[in-house]
Structure 1
Amino acid sequence: MAKHSIVIVDDHAMFRAGVRAELGDAVEVLAEAADVDQAVAAVIAGQPEVVLLDVHLPGGGGAEVIRRTTGKAVDTKFLALSVSDAAEDVIGTIRSGARGYVTKTITGAELIDAIDRVAAGDAVFSPRLAGFVLDAFAGTIEVAAVDEDLDRLTEREREVMRLIARGYSYKEVAGELFISIKTVETHMGSVLRKLQLSSRHELTRWASERRLL
């Protein structure tokens, strides 16, 4: 059986290396990309069967990669692989044209299975995320546009904000996002300042009210 050809898109080199190691020789990795421009070029040049696509990327995000390659990589399917499991990210990415969405807690064997299924035309979601998509497309929840408060945050600040709001320690956030604890502290201070909040407790309540957890 021929191996599926893929491109890995993520702005963290260590994470890309980890994905390569987990997948081993089960797939053919044509290229890696760290931002939107690199991803678009790699997808158009390589015409991979599947793109493992992070949602938050420098240059516009995963949805921008899908938009810019539509019609230029006609047989390529996109599988979002992201730390974020927020409803707005999941639904927005699927609406952009991705065939699936899994979180970075997935195991190597599960990721290989997800690639196989997406390549075959199936839609693949981590269990918790499937409910978001079904509810959204059934019209039972309203998917609001990003409000002005959230729009003030950078992509990285949003990632830090969501993890902290869920109760992660600074050390755990640093490990999850492959950044230093000091960088986490800097982002957290910026988040609280921009949102005019004073504590983690207030941040959790703020994020919960916006269904970002």
Structure 2
Amino acid sequence: MKIALIGATGYVGTALLGEALNRGHRVTALVRHPEKLAQHANLDAQQANVHDVAALAEQLRGHDVVLSAFNPGWGLADIREQFIAGSKAITAASKAAGVNRLLVVGGAGSLYVAPGQQLIDTPNFPAEYKEGAEGARQALNLLRDEQELQWTFLSPAALLQPGPRTGQFRIGGEQLLMDGDAPAHISVADLAVALLDEAEQPQHIRQRFTVAY
């Protein structure tokens, strides 16, 4: 499979890149700094600007699937706006390129913890992550209205941590997965397994899903 991976040098993107290459896929890594990536026979690293829809569409053209680990960067004053604008641009570029399959890694903040209540709206949600989580929530809401692309949105467990690749985890839907009374966790390596599994064998077309131990 020929994969376009947006954000391949980030925390999640690095794991996605490694998982995709280990499975033998050909990957075009679209990043701000391609020089950060090690050379690989199946890797084509290209500098990209997600906000330039026309240029990004040309880079996406000819791929089987787009994997987006886009994150504008924590700590930005306008992270919410950047998240929404970048997500809109990636969707528009995917459509312009004729790539029908778009898989997006978002946040856990929009998962439900009770009827009508999402994690981001709970009193103890960390204030320093709220603007970014709100951007990711709105990006998901925009995708829910998208009828042309076969999109999938993957929310990690509440705790996304470094750790081994086990290939063993639970798959959920709209609800935050728990470990007893505490939020469950997942390694970033296994998050990558879940997204590549979905890319290879789609199970959640135009749906959001989540994974956790």
What TM-score, normalized by structure 1, do the two folds share? Answer: 0.45
TM-score normalised by length of structure 2 = 0.45
Q: Relative to total residues, which structure has the larger strand share, 1 or 2?
A: 2
Identify the structure with the greater helix proportion.
1
Q: Kindly indicate whether structure 1 or structure 2 has the higher relative contact order, using CA contacts under 8 Å at least 6 residues apart.
A: 2
**Which structure is larger by alpha-carbon Rg, 1 or 2?**
1
